[in-house]
Amino acid sequence: MYKTIIQDLGIYQGNHLYLKREDLLPFSFGGNKARKAFLFFEDFDKGDYDCIVTYGSSSSNHCRIVANICAQRNIECYIIGPEEASEETANSKMMNLFGAEIIIVPVTEVSTTIENKINKLRREGKKPYFIPGGGHGNIGTQAYVDCYNEIQNYGVKFDYIFFASGTGTTHAGLIVGKLLCGGDENIIGISIARRNPRGRQVVIDSIKEYLNNNVISDDIINANTIFVDEYIGDGYAQYVTSVEKSINDVLIKFGIPLDPTYTGKAFDGMVNFIKANNIKNKNILFIHTGGIPLFFDFLNK
C-alpha cells in the first residue's frame, strides 16, 4: 500500500505546521477517497464480483476515483447521483470520460434506485459489488487507521491533528488508530457540512461498528470524538470569504492547492479554531484529504 509524505511547513501563525499530503496518493489526483478505494477494491478482488455500484454527487471525489479504477480494470461502473447536486464539474467530466453509467434521480429516490439497480444487475447474471457513498463503512475506517499508523511512525509528536470531516470514516479511522495504540494527539474534525449532534454521532457509530467487540469504553470513545461544526458556513459547497483567503494564502505561501468544499474550509476552520482557543507553540498536523479537481472548479467560478 502507498504511504504519503508529511511536509514540514515551518511556523505558521505561532505554531509548527505540518501537512500530510494525502492529495499526493498516486492515483487519480489522490485524496482520502483513493486511500479508501484501494481497500474496497482489495475486498472486491477477494469475492466473486464483476461490476461496481456506488453513490455520490457530480462533485464526488469518491466517484471519480472509483470510476477511474473501474476503467483501468475494465469493470462496469454504475453511479447513482442526486439530481439536486448534478451540475457539471471537473469530477463529473472525468466520470464520463471513464465510461461510468451515471443514473441521476431525486435525492429521495437514491436508496431505492441503488437497490433496484443491484437487483436488476443480478437478474442479468452480473455480480455487483456495492461501495457506500464516500467509501463509508469499516473498510473506509480501516484506511484511516492505516493513515494514523503512518502519522505515529513519522517521529514528531503532534499535539493536534486537523482535517475535513464529512461522511465520518476518515475521522473514525484516525480516532480508532489513536485509541488502539494509546496515542495522545487531539484529533479534531472540522465539519464541512453536518451539524452536531448528528455529525458527531455518525463518527461515533463508525468507531463502534469498527471496534465491534467493545474493547474500548463508550466514555473513552465519546471523550475522544471532537467534531467541530462552527465553520460550515451555509452548508455543503457553501463557504465564507475567509475560506477564499485561506486558499490563496496556502497556495501562495506553500504552493499547495486547497478547495472551498473540503480542505480549504477545514484549513480556514483550523486557523479560526487555533485563534479562538489561543493555541500556541504546538505541533499541528493538517491532513490534506485531496479534492484537487474541486480546486479547478473553484478557479472556473
User: Where along the sequence are the contacts to ligand PLP (CB under 6 A)?
Assistant: 31-33, 61, 134, 164-171, 262-263, 289-291
Q: How far is the CB of 282 from ligand PLP (least distance, A)?
A: 23
Residue closest to 71 by CA, chosen among 49, 43, 91, 51: 51
Residue 51 or residue 133: which is nearer to ligand PLP going by CB?
133
Residue 166 or residue 177: which is nearer to ligand PLP going by CB?
166
- Amino acid, res. 102: I
**C-alpha cell of residue 49:** 464480483
Q: How far is the CB of 143 from ligand PLP (least distance, A)?
A: 9
Give every CB contact of residue 40 below 8 A, 6+ residues apart in sequence. 66, 131, 135, 139, 140
Q: How far is the CB of 14 from ligand PLP (least distance, A)?
A: 25
Q: How far is the CB of 202 from ligand PLP (least distance, A)?
A: 9
Residue 31 or residue 177: which is nearer to ligand PLP going by CB?
31
Residue 50 or residue 84: which is nearer to ligand PLP going by CB?
84
Residue 51 or residue 227: which is nearer to ligand PLP going by CB?
227
Q: How far is the CB of 60 from ligand PLP (least distance, A)?
A: 8
Bridge partners, residue 290, by sequence: none
Residue 62 or residue 117: which is nearer to ligand PLP going by CB?
62
Angle at alpha carbon of residue 241, lines to 235 and 244, rounded to 5°: 95
Burial 196-209 (b: 16+ CB within 10 A, else e): eeebbebbbebbee
Helix axes 198-211, 138-152, angle to 10 degrees: 90
Give every CB contact of residue 191 below 8 A, 6+ residues apart in sequence. 165, 166, 199, 227, 228, 229, 231, 232
Q: How far is the CB of 124 from ligand PLP (least distance, A)?
A: 31
- Amino acid, res. 215: V
- Amino acid, res. 208: K
- In sign, the C-alpha dihedral spanning 153, 154, 156, 158 is negative
Question: How many Cβ atoms sit within 10 Å of the Cβ of residue 195?
Answer: 13
Q: How far is the CB of 267 from ligand PLP (least distance, A)?
A: 11
Residue 170 or residue 225: which is nearer to ligand PLP going by CB?
170
